[in-house]
Every structure is written in structure tokens, then in C-alpha cells.
């Protein structure tokens, strides 16, 4: 049977399990204390002295050294592993230049800030500015654009030259026919002689001014002159042209007919060489 544990210093009473074991008789079963006693795991209570000097926990109340006791390691205790770490590089220390000594340093005046310095060019060298470089590219682009525009314009003129010439000749033919119709209605003998040729002009050239005025007065009163209502078609073939027109007599606008006019290009203009017929 294990011996009961020693009472702790300070008069701590025994646990209740021990009193119950003392009161039992000889037939009583061996009692097991509720708190197992183990001298290896006994807790040591350290009380400071009244004088304020700390006491050594390994000495008892009589000053005798106490038996040293150790706590058994736990079931999960493992060996401590030391992880080796790589040494860090040493910190580099930059040596600062000593500050100026004297009244300025004593007053704590900040040092003068650094100012950018201009580097002089090499003797005999010429600086190439970015403005000159950019202007060169701009001029080159302008020349290229102008050249392309000139080529495009020239090609357009060459391709449409024949067509534009033909259209302009047709317009001139139409203008001559309209001028002829207006001169007939107004009796303008001078214009009729200018825009006609061949036998048509000969018929107007035979009249003198007095005879023409008398003839025009009678024709205008009876409305016996033709009126061109529309120019339907114009065909230009070199120095000759033919136009189909719709006309009617002034006295009967409801009756209309198609007539043909022959024109020739003379004296830098188109002239009617045959009066309306048919």
C-alpha cells in the first residue's frame, strides 16, 4: 500500500478521501485517493519572506536544501527541432559627408539644393532641333499629297474630256436653236442672218430693212410663223449636227408636229443651215 503524501507546508488539510479511509475497519477495502499522490508531480508553493528578500524554492522552512523534483514529460512531448535559417546579408552603411562646420551648421540652415547645369555644345557642332526634323516630314507629306492630287485630276480630265466636249457641243446647238426661235417671233433680221447659213441665210439676206418690216408686220398679225415647243434630240457628228424639235404654228398651238433642223459649225459657232420643214 502506498504511503500517504506528506502534508504541504502551511497546514493544508488532507483530502476527504483520506478521512473516509481512516474511519473504516480492517475489513475495509483499500481506498484510492481521489487525487493520486505523486511525489514527482507535486506542486511547490513559493511564499515570499516578510523581509522582502526572495527565498530559494529549493530550500525548506528550516533553510535546508529541498530535494529537487521534476515533472514527467507528457505523452505528446516531441523532440524540439531547430530550423536553420539562411543568414541575412549585412546592412550596407553609407557614409555621409560631414556637414559644414561653423555658424551655418550650428544654426541648422538646410544645405543649398542642387541646380541643373547646362552642358555647352561641342565647338563646331550644329544642334539639330526637333522642329526642323518635323517640318521636313511635313513638307515631304505635302509634296506627296499634291502629286497624287495632280495625277488624279489629270486622269479625270483625260477620261472625261471627250464626254464633256460632246456635252458642251450639244448645249451650244440647243442655244442656237433657242436663239433662232426667239428671232423668228420678234422679227430680229440681224440675228437671223447671223445664226443661219446656206440657203436659209440667203432667204433672209434678200430682204432689205423696209421690206422685212412690212412682211413681219403681216405675218405677226396673222400668226403665220412657227414656234418651237421643245428640243427633243440633238446628235453632234464632228462639224455637223441634227436636231429634232416639236413645233406648231402660232395661230394653232394645238396642232403640233416634229421637224428636223440641220446645223453646221462655222465661224466658231453653230448655225442653222436649213429652216424647219416637213
Residues of the chain whose pLDDT is less than 70?
1-82, 93-111, 120-133, 162-167, 275-278
CA distance 97 to 114: 16
With contact defined as beta carbons under 8 Å apart, do 17 and 31 qualify?
yes
pLDDT score, position 86:
75
pLDDT score, position 29:
47
Of 227, 256, 260, whose CA–CA distance to 245 is shortest? Answer: 260
Per-residue model confidence as pLDDT tens digits over 5-23: 555 444 445 544 444 444 4
CA distance 143 to 149: 10
pLDDT score, position 147:
94
Domains, the chain, in order of start with CATH, read: 1-67 (no CATH), 162-274 (3.10.450.50)
Per-residue model confidence as pLDDT tens digits over 104-127: 444 556 667 777 777 766 666 555
pLDDT score, position 68:
60
With contact defined as beta carbons under 8 Å apart, do 245 and 261 qualify?
yes
CA distance 184 to 188: 7
CA distance 274 to 196: 8
pLDDT score, position 260:
92
pLDDT score, position 174:
94
Per-residue model confidence as pLDDT tens digits over 24-36: 444 444 444 545 5
Amino acid at each position: 500500500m502506498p504511503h500517504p503524501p506528506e502534508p504541504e507546508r502551511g497546514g493544508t488539510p488532507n483530502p476527504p478521501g483520506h478521512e473516509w479511509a481512516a474511519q473504516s475497519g480492517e475489513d475495509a477495502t483499500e481506498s484510492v485517493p481521489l487525487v493520486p499522490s505523486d511525489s514527482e508531480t507535486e506542486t511547490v508553493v513559493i511564499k515570499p519572506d516578510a523581509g522582502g528578500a526572495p527565498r530559494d524554492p529549493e530550500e525548506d522552512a528550516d533553510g535546508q536544501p529541498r530535494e529537487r523534483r521534476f515533472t514527467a514529460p507528457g505523452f505528446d512531448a516531441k523532440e524540439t527541432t531547430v530550423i536553420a535559417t539562411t543568414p541575412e546579408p549585412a546592412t550596407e552603411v553609407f557614409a555621409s559627408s560631414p556637414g559644414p562646420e561653423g555658424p551655418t551648421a550650428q544654426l541648422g540652415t538646410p544645405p543649398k539644393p542642387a541646380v541643373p547645369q547646362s552642358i555647352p555644345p561641342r565647338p563646331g557642332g550644329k544642334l539639330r532641333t526637333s522642329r526642323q526634323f518635323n517640318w521636313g516630314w511635313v513638307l515631304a507629306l505635302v509634296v506627296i499629297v499634291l502629286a497624287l492630287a495632280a495625277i488624279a485630276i489629270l486622269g479625270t480630265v483625260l477620261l472625261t474630256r471627250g464626254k464633256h466636249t460632246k456635252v458642251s457641243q450639244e448645249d451650244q446647238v440647243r442655244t442656237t436653236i433657242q436663239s433662232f426661235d426667239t428671232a423668228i417671233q420678234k422679227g430680229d433680221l440681224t440675228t437671223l442672218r447671223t445664226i443661219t447659213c446656206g440657203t436659209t441665210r440667203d432667204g433672209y439676206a434678200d430682204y432689205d430693212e423696209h421690206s422685212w418690216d412690212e412682211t413681219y408686220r403681216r405675218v405677226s398679225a396673222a400668226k403665220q410663223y412657227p414656234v418651237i415647243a421643245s428640243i427633243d434630240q440633238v446628235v453632234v457628228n464632228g462639224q455637223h449636227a441634227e436636231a429634232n424639235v416639236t413645233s406648231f404654228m402660232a395661230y394653232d398651238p394645238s396642232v403640233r408636229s416634229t421637224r428636223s433642223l440641220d446645223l453646221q459649225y462655222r465661224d466658231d459657232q453653230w448655225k442653222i443651215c436649213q429652216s424647219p420643214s416637213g
